[in-house]
Structure 1
């Protein structure tokens, strides 16, 4: 049985989405003052919705490199999630203010934005993909916060 490269890409995308979902869920638990009503389903919808949102933009406007772009996009999300894991453990061990926890999260987000923009440029895709990626997350903020 010959499993193609695209099949492996989709398997990676699914696994990375699940890992990102779980990590974001636990990070949200570390900042209940800010995200009081989080649950795993909400995080899964947010993470997989990002794939649908960006995938739709690629299909409608660009019509190429969808598998490659989505693999890179989820890698950026996965790297951001992995960067949050030490913070989750730190927050469990040390009393750290909510402001510091938010600032640390925002630093990870900034690194993710820079990395996303770098990968989009490397793939020779339009830079507005980074803007639509950020827009999706901003649109989710009211859902997460309330």
Structure 2
């Protein structure tokens, strides 16, 4: 494995994904021992040539000799491409690179709703991406789509529930956002949309937990008690995760209880309509 020398990736220390892949670059020898550094530890000298705002949105790769910086997908292609030139060559093809840039932006601008973290007041530099409305709405739509189809598939496994439809599950998922937003009307639009992103991340997480049961049931017929028990456990996990996020976001604690109330109302409507 060829090692890219005298290069340092500036990563978001509060992003588990960023920590894993930058550490992986160092461990595999793609970068030297000084090949990664938390963004918040940027020196004053480095701040003179690193675009601080851009580096919070796109991971920066600093050339310690020339004092030059590459950002985002270009940084990753440079690191990986030094050891695997063919990957860099493929990644540099215009349509491929366009797709990779969009995918990178989708993840980067939404990383704080995918995995939220508390602001560390002790850090003068905070690696927080800009609030990008386009990518936030795309993320919410993506999570909404996955949640809709996962719930549609799982609902039909639960006994005594009326047969589900994709439209019903879509309305219920959208309704959750609208219902919760009612209790945030006094707050600014940015806070409401940020909460909606976190809300849909919790729903997406729950959908992914339910998915193995849906797939397993295609192979063998699972006991109804197992299906109900799995569903109840998933709801409990989602509630705990929602409650954790509310604390991190410094939002009213009652949002977790209105989250439960909505689901009870939705269940009653399903059973009686």
TM-score clears 0.5: yes
Task: Give the secondary-structure state (helix, strand or coil) at the position aligned to 1:119.
Answer: helix
Match of 2:262 among 136, 139, 146: 136
1:72-92 per-position Cα deviation (integer Å, ceiling 9, x unaligned): 010000000011111101122
Name the SS for the 1:67 alignment partner: helix
Aligned 8 A contact 1:38 1:144 in 2 = no
Higher mean C-alpha displacement, 136-145 vs 114-123: 136-145
Distance of 1:114 and 1:16 partners within structure 2: 19
Q: How far off its partner does 1:63 sit?
A: 4.1
Specify the alignment match of 2:152 in structure 1.
Answer: 25
Q: Distance in 2 between matches of 1:59 and 1:11?
A: 22
- Secondary structure (helix, strand or coil) at the match of 1:58 reads coil
**TM superposition score normalised by structure 2:** 0.49
Moved more, 38-47 or 63-72: 63-72
Q: Which structure 1 segments of 5+ residues have no match?
A: none
Structure-2 residue corresponding to 1:5? 132
1:56 pairs with 2:210: no
For residues 36 and 139 of structure 1, the distance between their equivalents in structure 2, rounded to whole angstroms, comes to 15
Distance in 1 between the 2:269 and 2:164 partners? 9
What's the counterpart of residue 236 of structure 2? 110
2-structure distance, mates of 1:91, 1:119: 32
Match of residue 89, structure 1, among 205, 208, 215? 215
Three-state SS of the structure 1 residue aligned to 2:143 is helix
Aligned length: 141
Q: Compare the two structures and name the one with the higher helix fraction.
A: 1
- Conserved? CA contact 1:120–1:129, under 8 Å: yes
Structure with the larger strand share = 2
Taking the aligned partners of 2:177 and 2:194, their CA distance within structure 1 comes to 12
The TM-score, its normalising length taken from structure 1, stands at: 0.90
Q: Relative contact order (C-alpha < 8 Å, sep 6+): which is higher?
A: 1
Distance, in Å, in 1 between the alignment partners of 2:163 and 2:216 is: 22
Structure 1 consecutive aligned stretches of length 4 or more whose deviation exceeds 6 Å: none
Deviations 1:107-142 (A, max 9, x none): 011000000000000001111000011110110012
Q: Which residue of 1 aligns with 2:104?
A: none
Structure 1 CA distance for aligned equivalents of residues 160 and 209 of structure 2: 20
2:156, 2:163 within 8 Å by CA — same for their partners in 1? Answer: no
